């Protein structure tokens, strides 16, 4: 089909992960290009050259340029089976779940950035297996902490709902779909910060981490030697990094 998918760094780029892992999981062939994050001015110039909104991911297909992860997935669904579940009820649920992820969970995005290669302990009282309280660290806005905890509970509720309603092992039934791809970055966020996943949600998270497409993405992320300081700074502002599995920076 002559697709070309342009993404950013594997370690940080959560929005890039969504179409990449879906296309890999479904065996949709594509060429790829990685544009590393840089300064804001360079980011704009580099990304504007490949996408109207100057952001990644972007899918090039012939003369068509499709930007934004949700639009890319919908475009792929016009050309390939399996993007959405075949069952009507499961398909409606999957679309709603993706839309909720696309437009929501802002506290999770802000407080828990995707940084695949590290493990971290948050300084505040978060619904976490490894949170810490440190009076010498800057405190988070307690309204944001409350909102993050609400995000974590809602994500667990959503994951368990899909798994129990449609029988698993994937969120919307027996096949990997856009719903799983859209929550792939959340899986890495939960693991990095030790956020709680319970019951069926915990088992689904493990299945995601063991999926060959996710393993391939993570291996590339860990091999990256390049660091972008603003992404590194935002995690250190809210958490203590306890482990770093990435190749040494150069």
pLDDT of 159 higher than 50: yes
pLDDT of 131 higher than 90: no
Question: Which of 21, 72, 64 is CA-nearest to residue 181?
Answer: 21
What are the strands of the beta sheet with 64-67, ordered from one edge? 31-34, 3-7, 58-61, 64-67
Q: What distance in Å separates the CA atoms of residue 209 and residue 227, rounded to the nearest whole number?
A: 23
pLDDT of 97 higher than 70: yes
**Mean pLDDT taken over the chain:** 93
DSSP string, 118-137: EEEEESS--SBSS----TTS
pLDDT per residue as tens digits for the range 167-219:
999 999 999 999 999 999 999 999 999 999 999 999 999 999 999 999 999 99
Mean pLDDT of 117-139: 69
pLDDT of 54 higher than 50: yes
Residues paired with residue 67 on neighbouring β-strands, in sequence order: 58
Residue 138 pLDDT:
54
Q: How confident is the model at residue 136 (pLDDT cuts 50, 70, 90)?
A: very low
pLDDT per residue as tens digits for the range 24-46:
999 999 999 999 998 888 988 99
Residue 237 pLDDT:
87
Residue 144 pLDDT:
83
Record the pTM. Answer: 0.94
DSSP string, 170-228: BTTBSS--HHHHHTHHHHHHHHHHTB---THHHHHHHHHHTSHHHHHHHHHHHH-----
pLDDT of 14 higher than 80: yes
Residue 41 pLDDT:
87
Mean pLDDT of 126-130: 68
pLDDT per residue as tens digits for the range 210-219:
999 999 999 9
């Amino acid at each position: 089909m002559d697709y070309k998918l342009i993404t950013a760094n594997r370690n940080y780029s959560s929005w890039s992960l969504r179409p990449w892992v879906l296309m890999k999981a479904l065996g949709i062939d594509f060429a790829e290009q990685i544009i590393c994050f840089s300064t804001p001015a360079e980011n704009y110039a580099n990304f504007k050259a490949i996408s109207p909104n100057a952001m990644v991911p972007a899918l090039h297909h012939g003369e068509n340029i499709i930007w934004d992860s949700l639009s890319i997935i919908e475009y792929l669904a016009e050309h390939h089976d399996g993007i959405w579940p075949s069952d009507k009820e499961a398909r409606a649920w999957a679309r709603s779940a993706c839309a909720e992820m696309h437009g929501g969970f802002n506290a999770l995005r802000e407080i828990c950035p995707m940084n695949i290669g590290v493990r971290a302990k948050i300084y505040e009282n978060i619904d976490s297996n490894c949170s810490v309280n440190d009076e010498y660290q800057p405190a988070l806005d307690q309204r944001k902490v409350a909102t993050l905890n609400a995000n974590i509970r809602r994500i667990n509720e959503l994951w368990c709902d899909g798994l129990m309603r449609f029988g698993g092992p994937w969120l919307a039934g027996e096949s990997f779909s856009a719903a799983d791809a859209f929550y792939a970055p959340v899986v890495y966020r939960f693991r990095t910060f030790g956020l709680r996943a319970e019951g069926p949600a915990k088992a689904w998270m493990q299945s995601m981490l063991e999926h060959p497409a996710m393993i391939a993405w993570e291996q590339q992320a860990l091999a990256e030697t390049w660091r972008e300081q603003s992404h590194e700074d935002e995690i250190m502002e809210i958490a203590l990094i306890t482990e770093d599995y990435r190749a040494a920076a150069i």
